[in-house]
Amino acid sequence: MIATIQYNSRKYQIDLTQAIDISIPLKGSKDNVNVWYVGSPKIEPVTFDDDWVGSVEAGACINFNDIYFNPHAHGTHTECVGHITNKVHSVNQYLKQFFFLAELVTIPPEKIDDDFVITKRQIQFALGNKKRDAIVIRTLPNTRQKLTRQYSNTNPPYLAEDATHLLKEKGIKHLLIDLPSVDKEKDDGELLSHHAFWNTSGAIRMDATITELIFVPNNIDDGTYFLNIQIAPFENDASPSKPILYKIIEE
């Protein structure tokens, strides 16, 4: 199914049957991806009075599960500035557009002291003078271990503050990355890249989002795509999400 999208005065064609899902699914198990020192997510049947279990296998007529998880810790999620402000703004209230012109780039973080960091120079090289609404960052090495990695206390790579400032200056409204955070795991609560991206020292970019813990398979080429950010309608600073890429059909 071919769709034509008019975007910023240009028309683009995408094939809606060729969706590229770059989210990590949530599973109720210990091998679910995990960050921020919390336990594993749980998906388990509701029980009533110890004699009814919400499972067809256990004799009920339906499957009726409770799900316990943390959107920041247990999979792909999209967050708004409410993640770091006194008032907990809701991503469901501020993400009102869902299709964006995006650039997928692959970057090997550089070793700086004891950290691996995505630098301003790398961002500038990857984007050049391209005008995009969103950037999707795939880091190297890129293995399927990202789907199950236990990140707590591992000091994962992150974005340098000046690299994030550059993204803001280039007009990037939606930042997607395959890491647990755009910031260093333990930074004494400074959250420099979060603050830089949302411009909390100036006019806050309420409609800008950060999506973390994506996974982009190696067989997907770098380049320009249409991005569809799908979220669950949680009234919370962050929501589990399902970002989808669509290749642009060359005319």
Identify each DSSP E strand in the chain by its residue range.
Answer: 2-7, 10-15, 20-21, 42-45, 47-48, 52-53, 65-68, 77-79, 99-107, 110-112, 115-118, 134-139, 158-159, 174-177, 209-212, 223-231, 238-247
The span from the CA of 244 to the CA of 228, in Å, is 5
What is the total residue count of the chain?
251
Continuous segment of H or E residues that includes residue 197: helix 192-198
State pTM to two decimals: 0.96
Output the pLDDT for position 42.
98
Confidence label for 203 from pLDDT (cuts 50, 70 and 90)? very high
Confidence label for 2 from pLDDT (cuts 50, 70 and 90)? very high
CA atoms within 13 A on the CB side of 72: 17
Give the domain CATH number at 220.
3.50.30.50
Output the pLDDT for position 183.
98
**Residue at 6 is within a domain:** no
The per-residue pLDDT for range 160-192, each reduced to its tens digit, is: 999 999 999 999 999 999 999 999 999 999 999
**Residue at 239 is within a domain:** yes
Output the pLDDT for position 251.
53
Confidence label for 215 from pLDDT (cuts 50, 70 and 90)? very high
CA–centroid distance for 85 within its chain = 19
Output the pLDDT for position 142.
98
Rounded percentage of the chain residues whose pLDDT exceeds 70: 100
**Residue at 9 is within a domain:** no
Output the pLDDT for position 49.
86
Q: The tokens 């703004």 sit on which residue?
A: 89
In Å, how far are 45, 80, 169, 195, 242 from 203, measured between CA atoms? 46, 14, 13, 11, 28
Number of domains into which the chain is organized:
1
Name the residue range of residue 91's domain: 17-25+71-247
**Residue at 12 is within a domain:** no
Q: The tokens of 43 are what?
A: 């998906």
Average pLDDT over residues 214-239: 98
**Residue at 58 is within a domain:** no
**Residue at 55 is within a domain:** no
**Residue at 105 is within a domain:** yes
Average pLDDT over residues 4-15: 90
The span from the CA of 172 to the CA of 167, in Å, is 5
Contact 91, 123 (CB under 8 A): no
The per-residue pLDDT for range 75-121, each reduced to its tens digit, is: 999 999 999 999 999 999 999 999 999 999 999 999 999 999 999 99
Identify each DSSP E strand in 93-233 by its residue range.
Answer: 99-107, 110-112, 115-118, 134-139, 158-159, 174-177, 209-212, 223-231
The per-residue pLDDT for range 25-46, each reduced to its tens digit, is: 999 999 999 999 999 999 999 9
Q: What is the mean pLDDT of the chain?
A: 96
CA–centroid distance for 182 within its chain = 10
Cβ within 8 Å of residue 242, ≥6 positions away: 21, 23, 76, 230, 231
Output the pLDDT for position 8.
84
